[in-house]
Amino acid sequence: MSRDDAYLLDMLIAARRAAQFASGISENEFRNSLLHQDAIIRRLEIVGEAAGRVSDVGRVQHANIEWRKITGMRHRLAHDYRNVDLDIVWAVVTTEIPVLIRYLERVVPPEGSEP
């Protein structure tokens, strides 16, 4: 597995976990649960951190991934943590993360696969 493939797999795993944590709860429940907020935000940070490590070549190969938005959100969550907008977090985890998961599931080699 290439370095970029490993980071794409990290993105996929973290995105799946974020979606799983959001599954079965309402936006209101999310807003009232620090546990869910922290779990989802942490997974979004990991998605963004892994995205930031994908090479320029990898980014070009997967140009339909919104790299700047993903890494920008990671920076906001990690460094501007006092101003996290839960509306945005909820919108991302319920609308954008499922799209990212579907894409990554098509392009990421399975864990343990050899080139």
Domain spans of the chain, in order of start: 3-107
What is the C-alpha separation between 29 and 55, in angstroms, rounded? 37
Burial of 101 (0-12, 13-18, 19+ CB in 10 A): middle
Q: Which range (16-30, 45-59, 66-80, 97-111) has the least confidence?
A: 97-111
Structure tokens at 104: 């990554």
Q: Which residue is catalytic, options 17, 74, 76, 106?
A: 74
pLDDT 10s digits, 83-101: 999 999 999 999 999 999 9
pLDDT of residue 112: 53
Q: What's the whole-model pTM score?
A: 0.92
pLDDT of residue 109: 74
What is the C-alpha separation between 74 and 16, in angstroms, rounded? 16
Q: What is the largest CA-CA distance in the chain?
A: 45
pLDDT 10s digits, 17-46: 999 999 999 999 999 999 999 999 999 999
Q: Give me the half-sphere count of Cα atoms (radius 13 Å) on the Cβ side of residue 24.
A: 3
**Spatial CA neighbour of 92 closest among 52, 40, 50:** 40
- For residue 74, indicate whether it is catalytic: yes
